[in-house]
Structure 1
């Protein structure tokens, strides 16, 4: 029996799965931040976000992808039929495997191109391997209404200031990224029938708190992919790859309103002040429930 080693398949599969998890809800994550939402009777609102936003696909995920896509040197691999232990290949076996490897060169090249296209599509056409990618994304954000500060700090981390006022006669979500086919939202305000607004801030809470199983899966796949990508990169004479570190989430989310608070999941309920009622949430990596509230404004 001839066993042909295909280690790069694991790296590619792990990176694909990690990217799928990002698209499912982790493409954007907050770092340290302060966020506020003020809603008045009649629907007037102001939303602010001041702090860090982490785009994981611009950091180590891109590096891992590049390492896993590096061309691996051909290595013949054979195992004993009974013990399954590795053994030396015969000249005939090695020649057969080398021929199969050479025959698959075109298919491997096509697959690399497909993976690169998929990554760029995930980022709205931006190539994460391009050194100018971060500034291109920052420029996109600066031209969108509300973004008064967008500074790139490196390793996928942006320091931003966002403030936008309007009227809630439609749903509101933050953030939105021009040209991105899909991205998770930090905060949503959904207008309901009967003059109420449902507020959810699921994206402000780290997945490690709300979904530890997902965080564990992500960490395991990232580490495994990085290990394999490092091995392949080393064979190609390139630098090693380290798995991405999940950004630390720490901040506050505050809702103020002169409307009627029908429901909320704060620890201590609403406080009364000059601006009406205030709901406040302290958020960190141990936060298990995302902030939510239901407010009647009509």
Structure 2
């Protein structure tokens, strides 16, 4: 095979399996501002303003679903010079027969993949033209989702805010009928009036973060597309994913103590008492924000 053929086949293989390979990280943040405020020993407020990307509703997933729908013959080579040559009719027929023989297997795999993605999307069929509209309605009927706008290609602009008590753990986002995977922000309550706060979704390059796998997959596909363009092949342009860019802030009330954190600057004093932790998030963020806070003396 020539380089261009290898690129095309590798890209098709990556695309066809991408949606399921990334099933555990089907949501990711884009540009955002988020804040968690511990308003008292037993209360908090949380907000997220910005973008959320749903992989299953993107062109990337659509390309993966369509990658194996059409037959593309492989190149043939000269036995003497190993240079590409035009395939004979018999060779093309043999390739086509091999393709046709795998039709049932491909159909079964496509059906299984579609069912899995539908389950991941809370029963919403990503191939349905109204899937984005259905997701908007699903989110808007949940408490906290004050505004949800589909910007296209699986990217949504949201305004989320909720207040609650610290009698239980907290995670964002949580969507009805969706599996609780790849959280952006988590708050775990410990004995002794302590709260551990983690934001795994805000570190795209963290090796322990599954969302980093999505970035890696997109990067690999983009690289293949660039190589294909350089070789003049017909490798399709790979859609880019969301740009991770934002700020995450934790505010504590008077009398609370920040026991540990991984900010660059450390805590700042807040007007009226309490402290503030701030993280600037970007494509190069390597550590997920984390803090341990004593909510009462």
Q: Same fold (TM over 0.5)?
A: yes
Counterpart of 2:249 (choices 224, 249, 254) is: 254
Pair 1:77–1:296, CA change in 2 (3 A): same
Deviation at 1:160, TM superposition (A): 0.9
**Cα separation, 1, equivalents of 2:237 and 2:134:** 25
Aligned match of 1:110: 108
Alignment partner of 2:238: what SS?
Answer: coil
Deviation at 1:210, TM superposition (A): 8.7
**Cα separation, 2, equivalents of 1:216 and 1:62:** 14
Question: Is the Cα–Cα contact under 8 Å of residues 64 and 226 in structure 1 kept in the other structure?
Answer: no
Pair 1:292–1:87, CA change in 2 (3 A): same
Counterpart of 1:267 (choices 240, 251, 264) is: 264
Deviation at 1:155, TM superposition (A): 1.6
Question: Is the Cα–Cα contact under 8 Å of residues 226 and 241 in structure 1 kept in the other structure?
Answer: yes
Aligned match of 2:281: 283
Aligned match of 1:34: 33
Deviation at 1:145, TM superposition (A): 1.2
Structure 1, gaps ≥5 residues long: none
Question: Is the Cα–Cα contact under 8 Å of residues 250 and 283 in structure 1 kept in the other structure?
Answer: yes
**Cα separation, 1, equivalents of 2:97 and 2:245:** 54
Aligned match of 2:239: 244
Alignment partner of 1:139: what SS?
Answer: helix
1:122-141 to structure 2, matched below 5 A, reads 122-141=120-139
Alignment partner of 2:217: what SS?
Answer: helix
Deviation at 1:80, TM superposition (A): 5.6
- Describe the superposition over 1:167-196 as per-residue Cα deviations: whole angstroms up to 9, x where unpaired: 111110000122223431111000112221
Question: Is the Cα–Cα contact under 8 Å of residues 64 and 241 in structure 1 kept in the other structure?
Answer: no
Output the TM-score relative to the length of structure 1: 0.79
- How many residues are aligned here? 285
**Cα separation, 1, equivalents of 2:284 and 2:226:** 28
Deviation at 1:57, TM superposition (A): 2.6
Structure 1 window deviating more from structure 2 (142-151 vs 109-118): it is 109-118
Give the number of the structure with larger relative contact order, counting CA–CA contacts within 8 Å between residues 6 or more apart: 1
Pair 1:224–1:290, CA change in 2 (3 A): closer
Alignment partner of 1:207: what SS?
Answer: coil
Is 1:186 matched up with 2:184?
Answer: yes
- Cα RMSD after superposing both structures: 3.5
Question: Is the Cα–Cα contact under 8 Å of residues 187 and 202 in structure 1 kept in the other structure?
Answer: yes
Pair 1:257–1:96, CA change in 2 (3 A): closer
Output the TM-score relative to the length of structure 2: 0.80
1:63-78 to structure 2, matched below 5 A, reads 63-72=62-71, 75=73
Question: Is the Cα–Cα contact under 8 Å of residues 30 and 52 in structure 1 kept in the other structure?
Answer: yes
Deviation at 1:68, TM superposition (A): 0.4
- Describe the superposition over 1:217-246 as per-residue Cα deviations: whole angstroms up to 9, x where unpaired: 313443378799x9xxx99xxxx8431213
Pair 1:270–1:127, CA change in 2 (3 A): same
Question: Is the Cα–Cα contact under 8 Å of residues 19 and 64 in structure 2 kept in the other structure?
Answer: no
